[in-house]
Structure 1
Amino acid sequence: MADQKEKDPCVRCGHQPEKSDRHCVRCGAPLVNRCSKKKSPLHKGCSKVNRQDAAYCADCGAPTVFRESGLL
């Protein structure tokens, strides 16, 4: 089986994360820029993984976790 693609470096500090890391071990920033829209009675939620430079979700338009964390 082929190796998984290496994760992109942290957008805050540039540290190269391990494949299994969800947050940067140096600065605590999230490493995956998911949509922040949570499941609610009126919405099924959105968990799309967006590009690192996306401030808003490409599927539903909600802010991304990078935007909410102040990374963008």
Structure 2
Amino acid sequence: MKNKLIVIGWLGVKQCYLNVSREEAIRRYVEKKDSSSVDETYLKQFDLIEEFEFGDEFSAYDAWK
């Protein structure tokens, strides 16, 4: 089974969403930011959305809770 990870945000402060739709991830990110200046257009303008699929492992520079 493939997993899908959507990563949104600036370097060092990215939020990750596992196995949710792109639309759901964006909605949740915008809601969490609670800012009228952050929307899908803003995120796309600055290329702040990454999406990739992987099996059961992938490489990461760091991970934390």
Both proteins in one fold, TM over 0.5: no
Task: Give the TM-score of the pair, scaled to structure 2.
Answer: 0.29
Report the structure number with the largest CA radius of gyration: 1
* Greater helix share, structure number: 2
Task: Give the TM-score of the pair, scaled to structure 1.
Answer: 0.28
* Greater strand share, structure number: 2
- Higher RCO (CA 8 Å, separation ≥ 6 residues): 2
